């Protein structure tokens, strides 16, 4: 499914947090969203997923303005994996992943074969099948993150928004999860911190600075020494050789 955002702006009181963002994501594309802390990545993702109402501008998913789509219908197509989820309730891993089926079930409908299959597959994808009965509270940060990704997958979405999904993950799972998301038949927008991971797995990258888009394009086009210095305030050497079109960044200690 395609996503089109036109002139999105949002803020609190006097402060503008997302300013005039327009972007287009083609069906099946994986878009990376990078930018320094506080540049508005999480806020933009919420606007795109319809969790916040923009002050101005609009978002279309597959040609329909999401402001016009009922919540439940929208969440059958769009999954949102938040940055850090927390709860005090004593739930199991399987309970959490089952929540992903919420938009597909009516108020009193039983648990169907399709629901069970979706949950089992999602758990398998993130390698948490053997933990399905473990208490969520007792998981490590990275395991919680993977369970939440599984929940998003159980939603069977066509569009997935992930807010820094690789935080807390070990390097194996960082690569594993991003590869999985890239290879899934869905459109995804991923906020990422690690520029090299963004370069490795994203088809295109959007760079945010103070809530506005300051660069957009292929990893090669966007990740330049210039951008890194201006936006991220680091000096780095960029290696284009290892993988065609996938630059590799070496930061210098200065």
Partner 1 sequence: MSSDTSEGGAGRLALFLCLSVVVLTLAVAAATAIGDYNIALRTVFLSVTNKLGLTGAEIAPIEQSVVWNLRLSRALVAALAGAGLAICGAILQALLRNALAEPFVLGVSAGASTGAVCVIVLGIGAGSLSLSLGAFAGAFAAFTLVALLSNGATSGPNHTILAGVAASQLFNALTSYIVTTSGNAQQARDVMFWLLGSFGGVRWPDFQLLLVVVIVSLAICIWMARSLDAFTFGDEDAAALGVPVGRIRLVLFGVTALLTATIVSMVGAIGFVGLVVPHAARYVVGPLHLRLLPACAVVGAVFMVIADIVSRVIATQQTVPIGVVTALVGVPFFAVILYRARPQT
Ligand X SMILES: Nc1ncnc2c1ncn2[C@@H]1O[C@H](COP(=O)(O)OP(=O)(O)O)[C@@H](O)[C@H]1O
Spatial separation of the C-alpha atoms in residues 153 and 148, rounded to whole Å? 9
Spatial separation of the C-alpha atoms in residues 176 and 166, rounded to whole Å? 10
Give the number of C-alpha atoms closer than 13 A to the C-alpha of residue 57, restricted to the C-beta side: 22
Q: Is residue 95 part of the contact set for partner 1 (CB under 8 A)?
A: yes
Q: Is residue 14 part of the contact set for ligand X (CB under 6 A)?
A: no
Min dist CB 10 to ligand X, Å, is 9
From the list 10-18, 75-83, 177-185, 222-230, the region that binds partner 1 by CB under 8 A is: 75-83
Min dist CB 19 to Mg ion, Å, is 17
Q: Is residue 42 part of the contact set for Mg ion (CB under 5 A)?
A: yes
Residue whose CB is less far from partner 1, 8 or 213: 8
Nearest alpha carbon to residue 165 among 17, 75, 42? 42
Chain centroid to Cα 141, Å, comes to 17
Spatial separation of the C-alpha atoms in residues 58 and 64, rounded to whole Å? 10
Site for ligand X (CB under 6 A): which residue of 5, 21, 23, 40? 40
Q: Is residue 168 part of the contact set for partner 1 (CB under 8 A)?
A: no
Binding partner of residue 39 among Mg ion, partner 1, ligand X, none, CB cut-off 5 to 8 Å per kind: ligand X
Write phi, then psi, for 81 (nearest 5 degrees). -100, 110
Residue whose CB is less far from ligand X, 115 or 164: 164
From the list 30-38, 125-133, 216-224, 245-253, the region that binds ligand X by CB under 6 A is: 30-38
CB atoms within 10 A of CB 129: 16
Site for ligand X (CB under 6 A): which residue of 35, 157, 165, 219? 35
DSSP code for 166 = T
Binders of partner 1 in range 114-133 (CB under 8 A)? 116, 132-133
3-state secondary structure of 145: helix
Whether 17 contacts 52, CB under 8 Å: no
Residue linked to tokens 């969203």 = 33
**H helices then E strands: how many in the chain?**
9, 12
Q: Is residue 37 part of the contact set for ligand X (CB under 6 A)?
A: yes
60: exposed, middle or buried (Cβ count in 10 Å: 0-12, 13-18, 19+): middle
3-state secondary structure of 15: strand
Q: Is residue 12 part of the contact set for ligand X (CB under 6 A)?
A: yes
Q: Is residue 42 part of the contact set for ligand X (CB under 6 A)?
A: yes
From the list 10-18, 21-29, 46-54, 238-246, the region that binds partner 1 by CB under 8 A is: 46-54
Site for ligand X (CB under 6 A): which residue of 30, 41, 75, 202? 41
Binding site for partner 1 (CB under 8 A): 46, 49, 51, 70-76, 79-80, 82, 85-92, 94-96, 98-100, 102-103, 105, 107-108, 110-111, 113, 116, 132-133, 137, 155
Instruction: List contacts with Mg ion (CB under 5 A).
Output: 42
């Amino acid at each position: 499914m395609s996503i089109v955002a036109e002139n999105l702006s949002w803020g609190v009181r006097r402060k503008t947090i997302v300013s005039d963002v327009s972007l287009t994501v083609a069906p099946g594309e994986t878009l990376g969203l990078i930018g320094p802390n506080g540049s508005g990545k999480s806020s933009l993702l919420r606007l795109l997923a319809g969790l916040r109402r923009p002050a101005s501008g609009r978002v279309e998913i597959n040609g329909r303005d999401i402001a016009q789509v009922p919540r439940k219908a929208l969440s059958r197509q769009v999954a949102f994996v938040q940055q850090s989820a927390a709860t005090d309730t004593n739930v199991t891993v399987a309970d959490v992943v089952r929540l992903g089926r919420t938009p597909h079930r009516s108020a009193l409908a039983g648990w169907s074969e399709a629901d069970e299959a979706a949950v089992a597959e999602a758990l398998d994808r993130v390698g948490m099948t053997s933990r399905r009965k473990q208490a969520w509270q007792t998981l490590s940060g990275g395991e919680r993150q993977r369970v939440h990704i599984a929940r998003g997958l159980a939603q069977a979405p066509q569009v997935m928004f992930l807010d820094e999904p690789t935080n807390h993950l070990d390097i194996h799972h960082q690569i594993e999860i991003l590869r999985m998301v890239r290879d899934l038949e869905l459109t995804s927008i991923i906020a990422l911190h690690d520029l090299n991971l963004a370069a490795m797995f994203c088809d295109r990258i959007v760079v945010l600075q103070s809530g506005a888009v300051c660069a957009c394009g292929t990893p090669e086009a966007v990740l330049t020494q210039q951008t890194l210095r201006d936006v991220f305030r680091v000096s780095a050497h960029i290696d284009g050789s290892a993988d065609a079109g996938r630059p590799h960044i070496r930061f210098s200690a200065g």
